[in-house]
Amino acid sequence: MRVAARLLSVNALLMALLLCGAGCDSGGDSDADPVFFGDLHAHSAFSAPDIVGNADPAEFYRIARDEIGLDFVALSDHDVFMTPEEWDEIRATAPLFDAPGTFVAFSAIEWTRAWHMNTIFRLDSETVCDCGQAPGYYDHHRDLIEARDAASHVNHPTDIFLPNWSQIDDSLTKNVEVFNASSSDQEHGYGGAIWSLRAGFRFGFVGVSDDHITDAPTPRIGNGLTGCHARELSREAILDALHERRCYAVTRDRILVDTRVAGVAMGGSATASIGDTVAARVDVTATATPVEIELVHNGATVVTTTCESTSCRLETDIRVDDPNNYVYARVHQPDTRPDHAGDEQHAWSSPVWIDAACAADDADCLADRLLTDDETDDCLAMPLLPAGPDAEIYPPASSAPYVIQCRDGDPRCDADQETGVCTVRLGLCFGVGHPNLPACEPRRADAFSVVEPAADVRRLSDDWQNRSTLQAIFQAAHTSTDKNRCSGLSDLRVEAGSQRSFEITTGAGEAIDRDRWTIACAPAAG
């Protein structure tokens, strides 16, 4: 659906906003924090041999400050390539360039193992983490991150270095790269930003260059940027904004974005009753026209508006049908560089989450969407069906065995446009009550395993992705106690002309909950 845009007045301040400098007015409410732009993931020659160029740390910071004009930058060389002496030089150089109010220079590290995460430090006295797996990484950095002396984010999640999502703790690693100029779009596909939000992870979005060219002609630092709504330009304020998920991603042009849902700014959480509508508003100050704003709710674009002015506002209401909801904005505009005619620049706001429950006068509103099995303890885990399931495809929730009958290409159950596979969306709810199971006592689960599909060594096979998705859902729901107990509706893939059985076990002490269901995918009609 399209809604009419409300155009905001453009005044003489616009050119200053386009150039930004040391922070820009965010273009939304007058009490909003200014926006500062920086690059949180880029390399110097100390990442050799994974680098082209000869910039040492001093040259790196100089280019970021003087040639690119960034407000902040993090030099995040690969820990596996740096020598101890090189790390000492980075730590000694960053404070020489750090000038609060003018330019913020961070020392940082790219943790480089089976997958990659960046850690950005407030101080310059931190040690390199000699840890081979994520649990060791979190043990090493936990105290620093919890004290806001460091911030962590997941790097290029759809690249060949796929994260092990069952080990990621989003109470510590609070952001994910939705754009990486070296790997491009990180929003879509397995492991992408939308996938991780559907699983229930609560990530803010950052954009980075991941520059590996450094001092080569036309440096690539700043070809992916993070804009942070921060109270001031300082290490402390930028780290606070990252922790509060008050930052957002842009490709290159410094587009100003402010997204609010139910009165809550990006990075925050609101509450609602299932069936409620909540107000959403996006304010954008772009650097070129026309400007298009998309509002994304639970992974789907629900509203689009276009403005012929660089100042643009989208306002609409969103209906809340699921327990776990996220809403963010995408922005598109023409590229301003003369040699890039026809290209686009983009921005992604961080999400606002909406935790929804049944209203007091409709306590059974999820009963027909939660799969139950009277032979097991269903207080621990229950699969969650889409809202308003079609009886021809989804049998009653209490049916056992439970079989979803989907046809490739049927929009009632197949969520993708891919031929030859059904992508059926289900979620999982943990430790929730059910009106038909009054004797159950909802508890927090402490164990989880995927029995079917069995482990598949073929990386990115349907079974491999399905197992990883289910494991990620459990991990996301249990990284902190204040999470929504239900995931979003996540993708389970079944090849057309086949069926797949799914079985999970969830434990809490001695109690065991076994949940089973089957998805049958018929070939496309005709």
Give per-residue pLDDT as tens, 439-489.
Answer: 888 889 999 999 999 998 888 999 999 999 999 999 999 998 889 999 999
Sequence-distant (≥ 6) Cβ neighbours of residue 369 within 8 angstroms: 384, 385, 386, 387, 389, 397
Residue 251 lies in a domain: no
Q: Are residues 51 and 167 in the same domain?
A: yes
- 394 & 262 share domain: no
Asked whether residue 250 is domain-assigned, the answer is: no
Mean pLDDT of 356-376: 87
Q: How confident is the model at residue 389 (pLDDT cuts 50, 70, 90)?
A: confident
**Of 280, 223, 291, residue with least CA distance to 256:** 291
pLDDT category of residue 186 using cuts at 50, 70 and 90: very high
What pLDDT was estimated at residue 370? 93
Here the CATH number for the domain that contains residue 261 is 2.60.40.10
- C-alpha torsion 481→482→486→488, nearest 10: -120
Per the structure, the complete domain to which residue 396 belongs is given by 366-522
Which position has the token pair 């990075």? 267
The pLDDT value given to residue 273? 96
**Per-residue model confidence (pLDDT) at position 19:** 40
Q: Where does the pLDDT of residue 24 fall: very low under 50, low under 70, confident under 90, or very high at 90 and above? A: low
Question: Is residue 60 located within the same domain as residue 209?
Answer: yes
CATH value at residue 57: 3.20.20.140
334 and 469 together in one domain: no
Q: How confident is the model at residue 48 (pLDDT cuts 50, 70, 90)?
A: confident
Answer with the one of 186, 216, 245 that is the final residue of a domain: 245
- Say how far apart CA 98 and CA 504 lie, in whole Å: 51
Lowest-pLDDT range of 5-14, 32-41, 130-139, 188-197: 5-14
> What pTM was estimated for this model as a whole?
0.93
Give residue 54's pLDDT. 77
Same domain? For 280 and 381 the reply is no
Evaluate whether residue 400 is within a structural domain.
yes
pLDDT at 18 exceeding the cut of 50: no
In this structure, the answer to whether residues 326 and 397 fall within a common structural domain is no
Residues 78 and 186 placed together within one structural domain of the fold? yes
Question: Do 386 and 516 belong together in one domain?
Answer: yes
What average pLDDT score do residues 257-278 get? 97
Establish if 73 belongs to a structural domain. Answer: yes
What is the C-alpha separation between 349 and 227, in angstroms, rounded? Answer: 9
pLDDT-based confidence at residue 34 (cuts at 50, 70, 90) = very high
* Mean pLDDT computed over 353-378: 88
Lowest mean pLDDT among 4-8, 97-101, 218-222, 399-403: 4-8
Residues 137 and 262 in one domain: no
Q: Which of 300, 324, 359 is the last residue of a domain?
A: 359
Could you tell me whether strands 204-208 and 184-185 are parallel, antiparallel, or unpaired per DSSP bridges? unpaired
Quote the mean pLDDT of the chain: 91
**Residue 318 belongs to a domain:** yes
Among the three residues 191, 225, 245, which one is the final residue of a domain in this structure? 245
For residues 66 and 211, membership in a common domain is answered with yes
Structure confidence at residue 22 as a pLDDT band (50, 70, 90): low
Does 263 map to a domain?
A: yes
Please enumerate in sequence order all residues whose Cβ is within 8 A of that of 492, keeping only pairs 6 or more positions apart, or say none.
423, 424, 425, 426, 466, 469, 500, 502, 519
3-state secondary structure of 195: helix
pLDDT tens-place string over residues 103-154: 999 999 999 998 999 999 999 999 999 888 899 999 999 999 999 999 999 9
**CA dihedral of residues 73, 75, 78, 82 (deg, nearest 10):** 180
Say if 354 falls within a structural domain: yes
User: Which pLDDT score, from 0 to 100, does residue 361 have?
Assistant: 87
What is the structure's pLDDT at 78?
Answer: 95
Examine the pLDDT at 27 and tell me if it is beyond 60: no
* 487: amino acid identity, one letter: S
Based on the fold, state whether residues 190 and 275 are members of the same structural domain: no
Same domain, 86 and 125: yes
**What's the total number of domains in the chain?**
3
Lowest-pLDDT choice from 18-32, 127-141, 286-300, 340-354: 18-32
Q: What share of the chain has pLDDT > 90, as a percent?
A: 77
